[in-house]
Structure 1
Amino acid sequence: MKIGLIFGTRPEAIKIAPIYKRLKEVGVEVVVITTAQHREMLDQMLRIFEMTSDYDLNVMIPNQSLSDLTQRLIQKIDEIFKKDKFDFVIVQGDTTSAFIGALVSFYYKVPVAHIEAGLRTNNMYDPFPEEINRRLISVLATVHFAPTQNAKKNLLKEGIDENRVIVTGNTVIDALLWVKNTKKNEMESVLQKYELKDKTYILFTMHRRENWGEPIRKVLKAVKMYLKENSHVYLVYPVHPNPKVKDLVHSELENIENAMVLNPLEYTEFLALMSKCLYIMTDSGGIQEEAATFNKPVLVLRNTTERLESIEAGIAKLVGTDTEFVYRNMKLLEGPIYKQMINKENPYGDGRASERIINYLVNFDKDSAKNKN
């Protein structure tokens, strides 16, 4: 059996790494196709998880449009499929790399397994373009590995065959536990490196395309109000390398003494800071899942979220980007609300998602699937 893994961003690499390792353990031939949609951040993940690219497409160009990216991905992935044959292709999540990987696989009649299938906000422009990417992958996929029951319900509503939907938990938990168990020494030194060992701090990330510009500015205005009133609390912001994010963040926070703007962190560093922070403010999807493992409350800086499990469990609160609303919710976490948001059961799984996925794939009946499709 020969399986292709197509991915190109840091979050994809994190969530595919446990799949890669599990495939190697059971002796399946793996071909790693990295698009490098995020070059530097992807390379960090490959080093940490000890993965090697068989094909590195290196598609990242500064300020490229989605149309340019899509065109380049189709051409480069197509070249690989002309010379290499696969029994299955695995894509993860909702990036343009994942969508185009699934599309080209379909063109070559290669079955697609979609990891983290079924997440929905039901707003086609939020998140953009991720919501449409994942819906289109669901149309193309042969097998749908849903992380939660909610995700499965979304797929069934769209007419996906229930026999092709498998609830596995989220592979990000597998990855996080692997790092905690194998990178202990590196993680323990991080707080000292950034002089945070004796500090109370909020961990902050904000980078999504729909939040570029004014939404980020409005949230940072709330943050600055809060930090001014609470000089003992620090903000730690590992800023995304995209100039549209980085330049704005530096200009907004450069004179705030208790705001620390950092370069992108290694994954081990980020997990170490997450494990000791007071709480998290983010527009990231994956961080909402990781935070649950560390029992850290999350203020979600978006108007919608596909991780409703966190909201329903009381681990996270959707606060959007309105300055006053964000500020009020930061104030709320000074009181009893904070205690109500910690020590909850993790709704995203037990760290065995990759095991369930690989067990299913190695026993998959492709002929039966073709007859049903």
Structure 2
Amino acid sequence: MGGSRAIRLLSVVGTRPEAIKIAPVALAAAPRSHINHRILATGQHGELFDEALADFGLHPELRLPPLLHDSSLDVMTARFADAIAATLRSERPDMVLVQGDTTSAYAGAIAAHRLGLPIGHVEAGLRSHDLHCPWPEERNRVMIDRLATLLFAPTSEARANLVAEAGVVTGIVTVTGNTGIDALLAMRARLPAPTSSADQALILLTCHRRENIGTGIEAICDAARRLADRGDVMILCPVHPNPAVGDIVRARLAEHPAITLTGALRYRDVVAAMAAARLILIDSGGIQEEAPALGIPVLVLRDVTERPEGLATGNLALVGTDADRIVVTASRLLDDPAAHAAMACPAFPFGQGDAATKILDAIEQYFSSDPPDDHPLPFGHASIMDVAR
């Protein structure tokens, strides 16, 4: 689509989930000789980011200079935005892509907006409709969507959220599916068939949400111990590197013989663990999209989700962080084959695995009118607060 005009794309990404979800775009762009796609790594997740890209045979072409991360979110966002803007001035891409709702994505959108560059938002339109949950992700994605030129909504529900915000969201919306499904299906195809024990069911557990730190994660760990005490399950828990999370998890779960704590797993190992699991307990976002495609029931350890599509298909259930509720719901799925089967039917509410192709087609369509090669820089000296407002 859109002819053969050369297009320079720069993706600003920094966390492991961003690496996983931008990888399909990079891979799909490679055969299109007229598209030059490069990755700018912010360093937000360091080695975890590089490992995730490496699982797809990719690496970042550009990196920000080392920045201090042990500061407030607003200070960190401002530092990232300034450093990203400097790189954009040098590289002068035709469009900046950001993925999701991280600090890296928010700062990348702000930097591009300051320089008058078109912004493509991969995974636009997600909403929990609660600015404080998840924090700061809900704020970030709302603001990115207001700045974006092209909004790649993963589902019709996400598109409806953007349409409802017409007037403040002014970009072009395209429903593409989620690139996370592209990544999942590509990785799953490379892995051997999962094996499972007839005596013990595998439960995959992750917990790290900022709003759950403290009493929430303590309750999740208490529920995990009670489930592990059953004797017929094994729990695999990759421990988040945040000490405020890891200290709680290790203190409450490290000594239990049916619980295995690991460091952060590589993406390929996460996919293998999901495929082998009987049940997944999580408070994160990406697995809410991926597990339905594998037909693995998911209990979401949050009170709200910005991914209601998985609730509608029956693959996800919201259980919050109440230990009793977690244990009761998980036990029912472990003990009742019919209840498990009802949540275990594979579904694809977040796309069929062709999101990256649709994103690139939409970008080519946008540039088919041959906008000028050089971009004005009207926001060169705007402050971060001016743009954020």
- Whether TM exceeds 0.5 here: the answer is yes
What amino acid sits opposite 2:143 in the alignment?
A: L
Query: Is 1:293 aligned to residue 301 of structure 2?
Result: no
Aligned pairs (5 A) from 1:235-246: 235-246=235-246
Q: Is the 8 A contact 1:156 1:162 kept in 2?
A: no
Structure 1 runs, 4 residues or longer, greater than 6 Å off: 195-198, 366-370
SS state at 1:364 partner:
helix
Q: Which moved more, 1:116-125 or 1:81-90?
A: 81-90
Give the unaligned 5+ runs of structure 2. Answer: 1-6, 373-389
For residue 364 of structure 1, what is the aligned residue in structure 2?
366
- 1:76 is displaced (CA, Å) by 1.0
For residue 208 of structure 1, what is the aligned residue in structure 2?
209
SS state at 1:128 partner:
coil
Q: Residues 234 and 126 (structure 1 numbering): CA distance in 2 closer, same or farther, change over 3 Å?
A: same
For residue 325 of structure 1, what is the aligned residue in structure 2?
325
Q: Which moved more, 1:73-82 or 1:285-294?
A: 73-82
- 1:247 is displaced (CA, Å) by 1.5
Distance 1:112 1:197 in 2: 50
Distance 1:209 1:145 in 2: 26
Query: Is 1:159 aligned to residue 166 of structure 2?
Result: yes
Deviation track 1:74-124 (CA, whole Å, cap 9, x = no partner) reads: 221121122121111111100011011011101111100101100001100
Q: Residues 311 and 32 (structure 1 numbering): CA distance in 2 closer, same or farther, change over 3 Å?
A: same
SS state at 1:110 partner:
coil
Query: Is 1:87 aligned to residue 89 of structure 2?
Result: no
Query: Is 1:52 aligned to residue 53 of structure 2?
Result: no
Provide TM-score, normalisation by structure 2: 0.88
SS state at 1:25 partner:
coil
Q: Is the 8 A contact 1:313 1:344 kept in 2?
A: no
For residue 17 of structure 2, what is the aligned residue in structure 1?
11
What amino acid sits opposite 2:39 in the alignment?
A: V
CA RMSD of aligned residues (A): 2.1
What amino acid sits opposite 1:219 in the alignment?
A: I
For residue 177 of structure 1, what is the aligned residue in structure 2?
185
Higher helix proportion (structure 1 or 2): 1
The higher-RCO structure (CA 8 Å, 6+ apart) is 2
Distance 1:88 1:170 in 2: 20
Distance 2:65 2:280 in 1: 32
1:25 to 9, 26, 31: 31
Q: Which moved more, 1:210-219 or 1:195-204?
A: 195-204
- 1:63 is displaced (CA, Å) by 3.6
Give the unaligned 5+ runs of structure 1. Answer: none
What amino acid sits opposite 1:280 in the alignment?
A: I
Deviation track 1:43-78 (CA, whole Å, cap 9, x = no partner) reads: 111211222222212556464321231122022112
Distance 2:286 2:341 in 1: 23
Distance 1:26 1:178 in 2: 19
Provide TM-score, normalisation by structure 1: 0.92
Q: Is the 8 A contact 2:77 2:106 kept in 1?
A: no
Matched length: 362
